[in-house]
Amino acid sequence: MSAPSRPASSATADEAAAVADGLYRCGSLIYTRKGLTLLFAWLLWGDFCFTLMETIVPSILPLKLRALETPNWLIAMIMTTLPGVLNTTICPWVSFKSDRHRGRWGRRIPFIISTLPFLTLFLLLLGWSEHLGAWIHRRWFSEGGFPPTTLILLLIGIFMVGFQFFNMFVNSVFWYLFNDVVPVQFMGRFLGLFRLVAGIKSALYNFLIFKYAESHMPEIFTGVALLYFFGFGTMCLMVREGEYPPPPDLGKRPGFFAQIRTFAVECYSLRFYWDYYLFCMLWSLSTCISTFSIFLQKDVGLDLAKIGQIAGVATVISMCLTYPAGILVDRYHPLRVLLWVKVVVVTLTPFGLIWLFFDFHPDTVFAISLSFSMLLLPFNVLTEATSLPTQMRLFPKERFGQFCSANALLRAATVVVGGLLAGMFLDFTRWACGGSNFGYRFIPMWTIPCVTGSLLCLIRLYRRWQAAGGDLGYRPPTVDCAGPRSRPSLIAERE
């Protein structure tokens, strides 16, 4: 992609407005129509590679762990707790540093491209962990009475930590890149295309790849790792960031603890944002148990091919709804749409209890599951459409990454605890059912109270947002924290 030209002077006050000669601004970046098209193309290509890489680990690894007869609490620890611990430590630090980093490659891309080879390596090691464990056991532990399964699980845990550590650098800043390089008047359309690409990825994965998850895990991980390395790496080289204003002043002693204090004061001292944080925390708590949903689907009579077909059909239809959903979100405000969507989703959640009381023929199970998936589909699409725009509307633009990471930190801490509790909850339900997989049918009993509490927090946030000005008058409240001993002062708050 040819680099967008940069003006000799600083950007105008309205950074996102189209200039008279048909050029478009985003900060110090200026795009022609061709440059804007190329920017979209490279970002969407990078998104395809990145989201495909992120899909295979949570969808395939639990199947491998279950095949190794891993207890649910350990599956939860590997899949949710370990990543959550890293998220609570790495993500806030990377986001805080990225917001304030100034370099020749920008403030986001350096954190992405520097971790690219390491993330790829650990993804490859995860895919071949069973083969590596078996080889190491044959070579060094075959006569020591050390079980090969234990060694394989140990390797999976080590490789998962390495993968998630480097993935946190990418996951922390990739989404912030959009806010820095895409002109704001095109953001709705870009996010619509963004979700469309994610839908195409999901359809291809569910129809063509997922059915081989249990039989060809090493080959899938290898192919996706190489695609990520070359595809996502190319995007980093072709997308240019602009120039940024000087970072916020941390005072006379910008040491480690001063930075922590600044982060905490700016992000956690205002009640307004806590409603959104609590909404996300409780919703994340409800999803801690989703890792085990595939075992519920298999217990009620679905095989991997049927599960993939349901997900594939849902993905194809969701692609058709993605762009209209973006228009709806832009028209009625993402927070308002999110509220009504969550009201419907919470109302429909108890339907999952049907599997506790009825056993159906596999064909009937497939029909019910497909129908319920189609019923929820428009609301899931709208939820996805509101996620990033809601944060863009609520959080201060100049500290967007920092506030996103503050939210992610709390969500990750919730997942750390919730993942273990969810695994223990299902171990208990399976024990209560005599060790049967019927225990997985109690998953909605975990989900219902979590999503209900989340909805109550969202309702309170919406009321405060309306009181703070709503559609026309809202300005993100912020505090100024000039130094480690300064008293924070309120910049703009309308509660």
Residue 480 pLDDT: 61
Q: Which residues of the chain have pLDDT under 50?
A: 1-20, 482-495
Residue 22 pLDDT: 64
Residues 416 and 157: their CA atoms lie apart, in Å, by 15
Per the CB < 8 A criterion, the answer to whether 8 and 160 are in contact is no
- DSSP secondary structure letters along 159-223: HHHHHHHHHHHHHHHHHHHHHHHS-GGGHHHHHHHHHHHHHHHHHHIIIIIGGGTTT-HHHHHHH
What's the sign of the alpha-carbon dihedral 202, 205, 206, 210? Answer: negative
Measured between its terminal Cα atoms, the distance across the chain in Å is 45
Residue 419 pLDDT: 79
3-class secondary-structure state, position 483: coil
Report which DSSP code applies to 398: G
Q: Please give the torsion angle defined by the CA atoms of residues 330, 335, 336 and 340, in that order, rounded to the nearest 10 degrees.
A: 120
What count of other Cβ atoms lies within 10 Å of the Cβ of residue 405? 29
Containing 46, the helix (H) or strand (E) segment is helix 33-67
Structure-token pair, residue 180 = 């820095």
Residue 120 pLDDT: 93
| CA–CA distances in Å: residue 154 to residues 53, 142, 161, 488 | 22, 16, 11, 46
Structure-token pair, residue 396 = 């201060």
Structure-token pair, residue 204 = 């291809």
Report which DSSP code applies to 269: S
What count of other Cβ atoms lies within 10 Å of the Cβ of residue 473? 9
Chain CA centroid to CA 446, Å: 21
Q: Are strands 24-26 and 29-31 parallel, antiparallel or unpaired?
A: antiparallel
Domain boundaries, the chain: 38-492
Per the CB < 8 A criterion, the answer to whether 3 and 240 are in contact is yes
Residue 16 pLDDT: 38
Provide the CATH number for the domain formed by 38-492 in this structure. 1.20.1250.20
Question: At which residue do the structure tokens 């064909």 appear?
Answer: 363
Beta-bridge partner residues of 18: 24
Residues 372 and 357: their CA atoms lie apart, in Å, by 17
Residues 371 and 368: their CA atoms lie apart, in Å, by 5
User: At CA 12, angle to CA 331 and CA 330, rounded to 5?
Assistant: 5
Report which DSSP code applies to 78: I
Per the CB < 8 A criterion, the answer to whether 309 and 297 are in contact is no
Per the CB < 8 A criterion, the answer to whether 217 and 127 are in contact is yes
| CA–CA distances in Å: residue 52 to residues 65, 114, 202 | 20, 20, 8
Residues 27 and 40: their CA atoms lie apart, in Å, by 17
Alpha helical stretches, state H, 288-361: 293-299, 304-332, 334-348, 354-357
190: exposed, middle or buried (Cβ count in 10 Å: 0-12, 13-18, 19+): buried
Residues sharing a CB contact under 8 Å with residue 425, sequence separation 6 or more, in sequence order: 289, 442, 446
- DSSP secondary structure letters along 410-450: HHHHHHHHHHHHHHHHHHHHHHHTTT-GGGGGGHHHHHHHH
Residues 447 and 1: their CA atoms lie apart, in Å, by 45
User: At CA 53, angle to CA 83 and CA 201, rounded to 5?
Assistant: 130
Closest CA to 406 of 88, 176, 182, 181: 88
Residue 454 pLDDT: 93
Q: Is 483 left (phi over 0), alpha (psi -120 to 50) or beta?
A: beta
Q: What backbone torsions phi and psi does residue 18 show, to the nearest 5 degrees?
A: -75, 135
Question: At which residue do the structure tokens 């891993």 appear?
Answer: 70
